[in-house]
Amino acid sequence: MTRHSKPLALFCAALLTAFAATAVIAADQPRTLSTSGHGEVKVAADQATVRMQVETSHRSASDAKRAVDDRVNQLLERLSKLGIDRKDIVASSLRLNPQFEYQERRPVFTGYNATRDVVITLRKLDELNDLLDAAVDSGINQINQIALESSQADTHRAEARARAIADSQAKAELLAKSYGAALGPVHTIHYHNSQPMTAAAPEMAMMRMAADSVASSPGQYLHDEITFRDNISVVYELIISH
């Protein structure tokens, strides 16, 4: 063997060894099939969380606080008459801020702004109009959000998840059979959790007020459905018949 042929032979031997190792690794890698499943459950809302706010301004801080406290107290009394439990009401916040107006580029104190937030869980959705009337009559000047909910949310989430799993399994079995293979054990699972949505707008339940032919009659509120969605991705090992 010549002086130059020996390194070449060593290089070829190393290359063949690397190819062989790669082939062994490739042979050890399982053949897989990736699929995903989607589950969806639509239900009618049966309760809501209503977020509202009362705000006022006065020259003195004590007068501003007293004004919003009086309105919240009136609301709490009205809610009690409606049969809404105190445990379903949160009215613990108070924000009190000084206000200024700029006159000739200088801030001039004008008084205090007081704000209180009230959050109510309404267990009987058909009482929504009565709740809103009580808020308006009590001097609550902002209705910030009406979020539709389901009292059986956990049950509906579980059903949507079960449908997503069944959907992924059915797809995987059909694909494997179509290509002359069989499903092996599960290789990996990726779970994509989803939040409930309403038909009108994701992440915030909206209400549609129907036009009423009689102006003096109460407002009518038509509630959108809540959609519970779940998604899952799964990778199966494939069994190939030779």
The per-residue pLDDT for range 25-45, each reduced to its tens digit, is 445 677 899 999 999 999 999
- Of 98-107, 136-145, 213-222, give the lowest mean pLDDT range: 213-222
Q: Tell me which of 22-31, 38-47, 225-234 is least confident.
A: 22-31
- 198-202 long-range contacts (CB < 8 A, ≥24 apart) are 198/45, 198/148, 198/224, 198/225, 198/226, 198/227, 199/224, 199/225, 199/227, 200/224
Q: What is the rounded CA–CA span in Å between residue 52 and residue 57? A: 17
Supply the pLDDT for residue 43. Answer: 95
CATH of 47-149, one of 3.40.50.10540, 3.40.50.2000, 3.30.70.2970, 1.10.10.10: 3.30.70.2970
Q: 29-43+153-240: which CATH number, 3.30.70.100, 3.30.110.170, 1.10.10.60, 3.30.420.300?
A: 3.30.110.170
Domain ranges of the chain: 29-43+153-240, 47-149
Topology alike, domains 29-43+153-240 and 47-149: no
pLDDT band at 224 (very low <50, low <70, confident <90, very high): confident
Question: Regarding predicted confidence, which is higher, 24 or 61?
Answer: 61
pTM given for the model? 0.70
Exposed (0-12), middle (13-18) or buried (19+): which is 90, by Cβ within 10 Å? middle
* Residue with the larger pLDDT of the pair 224 and 169: 169
Mean pLDDT along residues 155-166: 96
Percent of the chain with pLDDT over 70: 76
DSSP bridge pairs for 101 = 108
- Residue 214 pLDDT greater than 90, yes or no: no
Q: Maximum CA pair distance of the chain? A: 110
pLDDT at 19 over 70: no
CA 208 to chain centre: 20
